[in-house]
Amino acid sequence: MAFSMAFAFYAWVVLLNNYVIDVASFGGKEIGILQSVREIPGFLAFGVIYVLIFMRQQSLAIISLLLMSIGIISTGYCSSAWGLYFATIVMSLGFHYLETVLQSLQLLWLKKEEAPIIMGRVVSVKNLGMTITFVLMYICFQWLDISYKLAYVLFGGIGIVLTIVAIIGFKKFQDDDGQQKKLVFKRRYWLFYVLTFLSGARRQIFVVFASFLLVQKFGFTMANIAMLHFVNALVSIYFGQKVGKLIARIGERSSLILEYTGLLILFISYALVESQSVAVALYIVDHILFAMAIAVKTYFQKIADTEDLTSSAGVSFTINHIAAVFLPAVLGLVWVHNYSLVFFIAAGIAALSLLAAFMVPRHPTPKQYLRYLETNVSATIKS
């Protein structure tokens, strides 16, 4: 399912910036609004817990993959801003509900000691799906010179075929009946909520504006973007498993500190970059560091009550997308006046994330976590 999601979704991602500029004449304002619209279903991801009252998680995952694929096909038939906004919501609803369910099932099915390693493998599998997409995308636009519409129909259609494969080929796995069927917020999860919120904010800046910078400032073509993503995915296939093993070895606290220190440097570099080759290198390193977000999930798995995992998957996606609903639109207006300021703001978010990472216990468990809050948070903030 992770492979299928990545294969179809990243076709939409790779096509988007060139498509909206060439076909719909989008600027920074319009792309910001579209990306904010895209994140509305993510903000409403907590609704998954209520849908699961009526169906199994596996069934919801399959329906979500189908809905995402239909939204991708629909995008190719839209050339107006409002049409693109509607198609984006359809695609995004499927994507975010699928992501939420897959995260829930990983936390439920994986043992705590193996979770970082297996999640790292899942990241590699996702990047394999992305790699195949980018190769096909490059062939389609560099050699076959197909239209945007045909590309959306082709990749969305393959997504539908993969959905049928999932229906026919997968056995029905057992859901965990002990999971809460209501929203769960607990005070002792507050640091996880903060890390999730900040992660969503800086992720949006990277997803929306890093590739937009390459297209608008450095004149990247559709084939250039596809090739960049191809190289990026190849690198990430290798590093995905390495990152998972690194987190298992050094722990969540050290992993998050490493990630956010790197992001702080990267976003400042984005703001100042004048070289196309340097911008490409930053984009690739940024994507590698993003894989370390696994540490936030495994940290929560270690401090959470088992019955809270499914509900918290929906809640965390909603928190992750609070900033995503308004941040792209607001920063799209900032972009019009000064694109560098967008990345300096991202650097500030990375700095806040780094501060929060220092509050993560070295060996998180539910009981140790509570003792840590009582004795160390005040000292950390003061220092």
79 φ, ψ to 5°? Answer: -120, -10
- Sequence ranges of the domains in the chain: 2-169+182-382
The letter for the amino acid at 272 is L
DSSP 139: I
- pLDDT at residue 18 in the model: 82
- pLDDT at residue 20 in the model: 84
Triad 335, 339, 340: Cα angle to 5°:
145
DSSP for 182-211, written as a single string: S----GGGHHHHHHHHHHHHHHHHIIIIIH
Q: Which of 190, 130, 143, 208 is nearest to 315 (CA)?
A: 190
CATH fourth-level superfamily of 2-169+182-382: MFS general substrate transporter like domains (1.20.1250.20)
- pLDDT at residue 358 in the model: 92
Q: Are 279 and 273 in contact (CB under 8 A)?
A: yes
DSSP for 64-126, written as a single string: HHHHHHHHHHHHTT--SHHHHHHHHHHHHHHHHHHHHHHHHHHHHHS-TTTHHHHHHHHHHHH
- pLDDT at residue 67 in the model: 94
Mean pLDDT, consecutive 10-residue stretches, the chain (383 aa), reads 90 85 77 79 74 82 94 90 90 89 79 79 84 84 84 93 90 65 72 87 79 82 76 78 83 90 92 88 85 83 74 71 73 84 91 92 68 54 59
Q: Are 222 and 15 in contact (CB under 8 A)?
A: yes
d(CA 330, CA 347): 16
Residue spans of alpha helices (H) in the chain: 2-22, 28-38, 40-43, 48-51, 57-75, 81-109, 115-138, 148-169, 190-205, 211-216, 222-250, 252-272, 276-290, 294-303, 309-320, 322-337, 339-357, 366-382
- pLDDT at residue 313 in the model: 65
- pLDDT at residue 260 in the model: 92
Q: Are 10 and 229 in contact (CB under 8 A)?
A: yes
- pLDDT at residue 380 in the model: 57
